């Protein structure tokens, strides 16, 4: 069996294409689902609501599909861009930090470096977002100082009711990513340094155990929505796709023929819809998304350089967007807020052709602001991760 590893498994361009799909999904989702719940079909992201799933199922199968299918689709499914980023985080961390020739860093050096990276990326967007929230009186007034401090420290997720804070849009994700980095360095990374073959099974067992633990935490919470929501703002939602990325980067994946990739890419959306009709299946939906999107991107792969160049041109919009994804993530809430209050709310814009016009304006302005934000970040030095001497001894 031909096992793909490294760039053969996922090249840099393919990873950027995955990021492009993920950030487009998140950006459109965060605009579309702000419409009235009577107009759009809301999602099952932090909690499972069978009513939402049935509405989407009836919309897709009951002869109700109309010109607003893209709006309904991204409102309900767009949040699944998040597990794609988590998958790529696991994949990328293994590729960057594991291997015989990699430099060694202490846990504190690693965690501090990644905290600085997240803080540097977030700070200006947070300041502008707070100002805009003040202008539109969109703050959650209760304990706003505590929420602000927690956001600056990247621990906002652990507070009760994490969605009720003063931060603009999806900035909670910075706290989740910080948790992921801590878990990786303290729990997952050490298993890559094991030299004794008797214990090397921990290399696959540890990420699998973290994924199973996350599932076990969520499985009994079907009737406890507040507790489930809190867990899903934290590492419980991250470990399944993250572990998948770690395992693929460490051990590779069998090479699949194009017909198999195409089949997975086509079946995955149907399987995801069906998974959303059952709580227990819904908990595994992130794997369905990853399988479908990775298979789709792998279809744009050729054996010869000439054909590959043509295919790269076809998906260039995705790879370009993916390379800009971190800045888009910071920028798009800052564009969405004024459009929502000044246009959607003030002029009561419902589902109409006019809504698509404003959606296009939102996307264009978000991309332009993201490009400006990337230029701003280049003006300031990036944090560096200094290497340390290799640790004495290893795990057994």
Element (H, E) at 22: helix 12-32
pTM assigned to the model: 0.94
Record the tokens describing residue 32, joined without a space. Answer: 């579309």
Establish how many alpha carbons lie within 13 A of residue 377's alpha carbon, considering only the half-sphere containing its beta carbon: 24
pLDDT at 390: 52
pLDDT at 39: 86
Geometric angle at alpha carbon 190, from 186 and 193, rounded to 5°: 165
Tell me the pairing of strands 253-254 and 3-4. Answer: antiparallel
In the numeric block, the tokens 């804070």 are attached to 165
Give the residue, 395 or 232, on which the prediction is more confident.
Answer: 232
Band of pLDDT at residue 395, cut at 50, 70 and 90: very low
145 pLDDT higher than 90: no
Band of pLDDT at residue 141, cut at 50, 70 and 90: low
pLDDT at 112: 95
Strands (E), 186-320: 253-254
**Collapsed DSSP state (helix, strand, coil) of residue 253:** strand
169-202 pLDDT, tens digit per residue, is: 778 899 999 999 999 999 999 999 888 989 999 9
Report the 3 state secondary structure along 111-124.
HHHHHHHHHHHHHH
Record the tokens describing residue 94, joined without a space. Answer: 């293994």
Distance from C-alpha of 180 to C-alpha of 187, rounded to nearest angstrom: 10
**CA of residue 217 relative to chain centroid, distance:** 20
393 pLDDT higher than 50: no
**Collapsed DSSP state (helix, strand, coil) of residue 104:** strand
In the chain, what is the straight-line distance between the N-terminal and C-terminal CA atoms, in Å? 31
DSSP per-residue letters across 234-264: THHHHHHHHHHHHHHHHH-EE---HHHHHHH
16-53 pLDDT, tens digit per residue, is: 999 999 999 999 999 998 876 678 999 999 999 999 99
DSSP per-residue letters across 266-286: HHHHHHHHHHTTSHHHHTTHH
Pick the range with the lowest mean pLDDT from 153-162, 234-243, 254-263: 153-162
Q: Nearest CA to 341 among 117, 162, 168, 203?
A: 168
**Collapsed DSSP state (helix, strand, coil) of residue 257:** coil
396 pLDDT higher than 50: no
Q: Average pLDDT in the 107-122 region?
A: 95
Pick the range with the lowest mean pLDDT from 65-79, 292-306, 328-342: 328-342
Q: Average pLDDT in the 313-339 region?
A: 95
Band of pLDDT at residue 100, cut at 50, 70 and 90: low
Q: Report CA-CA distances (Å) from 256 to 184, 262, 381.
A: 29, 10, 42
Element (H, E) at 4: strand 3-4
Q: Note every long-range contact of 101-110, with CB atoms under 8 Å and residues 24 or more positions apart, other chains counting.
A: 103/387, 104/387, 104/388, 104/389, 104/390, 104/391, 105/385, 105/386, 105/387, 105/388, 106/388, 106/391, 107/185, 107/186, 109/385, 109/386, 109/388, 110/181, 110/185, 110/189, 110/385
Residues 6+ apart with CB under 8 A from 307: none
Residues 6+ apart with CB under 8 A from 123: none
Distance from C-alpha of 249 to C-alpha of 197, rounded to nearest angstrom: 19
Band of pLDDT at residue 56, cut at 50, 70 and 90: very high
Record the tokens describing residue 291, joined without a space. Answer: 């399988």
- Is the distance from CB of 267 to CB of 261 less than 8 angstroms? no
pLDDT at 77: 97
pLDDT at 34: 80
269-295 pLDDT, tens digit per residue, is: 999 999 999 999 999 999 999 999 999
- Is the distance from CB of 376 to CB of 125 less than 8 angstroms? no
In the numeric block, the tokens 């990420």 are attached to 207
**For all residues of the chain together, what is the average pLDDT?**
90
pLDDT at 296: 98
101 pLDDT higher than 70: no
């Amino acid at each position: 069996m031909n096992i793909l590893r490294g760039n053969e498994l996922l090249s840099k361009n393919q990873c950027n294409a995955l990021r492009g799909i993920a950030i487009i999904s998140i950006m459109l989702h965060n605009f579309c689902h702000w419409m009235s719940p009577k107009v759009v079909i809301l999602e099952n992201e932090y909690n499972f609501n069978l009513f939402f799933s049935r509405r989407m199922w009836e919309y897709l199968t009951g002869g109700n599909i109309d010109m607003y299918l893209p709006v309904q689709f991204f409102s309900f499914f767009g949040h699944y861009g998040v597990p794609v980023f988590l998958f790529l985080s696991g994949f990328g961390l293994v590729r960057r930090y594991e291997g015989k020739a990699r430099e060694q860093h202490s846990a504190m050096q690693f965690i501090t470096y990644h905290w600085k990276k997240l803080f540097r990326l977030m700070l200006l967007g947070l300041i502008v977002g707070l100002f805009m929230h003040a202008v539109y009186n969109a703050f959650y007034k209760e304990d706003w100082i505590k929420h602000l401090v927690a956001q600056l420290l990247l621990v906002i997720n652990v507070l009760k009711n994490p969605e009720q804070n003063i931060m603009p849009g999806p900035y909670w994700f910075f706290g989740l990513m910080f948790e992921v980095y801590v878990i990786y360095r303290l729990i997952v990374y050490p298993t890559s340094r094991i030299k004794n073959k008797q214990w090397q099974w921990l290399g696959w067992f540890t990420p699998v155990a973290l994924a199973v633990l996350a599932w076990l935490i969520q499985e009994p919470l079907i009737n406890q929505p507040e507790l489930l929501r809190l867990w899903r703002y934290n590492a419980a939602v991250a470990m399944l796709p993250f572990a998948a990325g770690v395992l693929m980067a460490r051990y590779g994946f069998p090479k699949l023929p194009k017909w198999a990739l195409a089949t997975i890419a086509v079946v995955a959306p149907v399987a995801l819809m069906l998974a959303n009709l059952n709580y227990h299946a819904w908990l595994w939906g992130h794997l369905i998304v990853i399988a479908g999107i990775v298979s789709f991107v792998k279809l744009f792969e050729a054996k010869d350089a000439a054909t590959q160049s043509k295919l790269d041109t076809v998906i260039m919009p995705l790879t370009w967007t993916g390379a800009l994804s971190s800045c888009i993530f910071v920028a798009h809430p800052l564009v969405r807020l004024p459009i929502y209050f000044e246009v959607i709310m003030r002029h009561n814009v419902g589902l109409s052709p006019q809504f698509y016009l404003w959606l296009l304006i939102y996307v264009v302005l978000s991309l332009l602001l993201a490009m400006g934000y990337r230029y701003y970040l280049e003006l300031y030095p990036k944090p560096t991760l200094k290497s340390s001497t290799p640790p004495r001894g290893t795990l057994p």
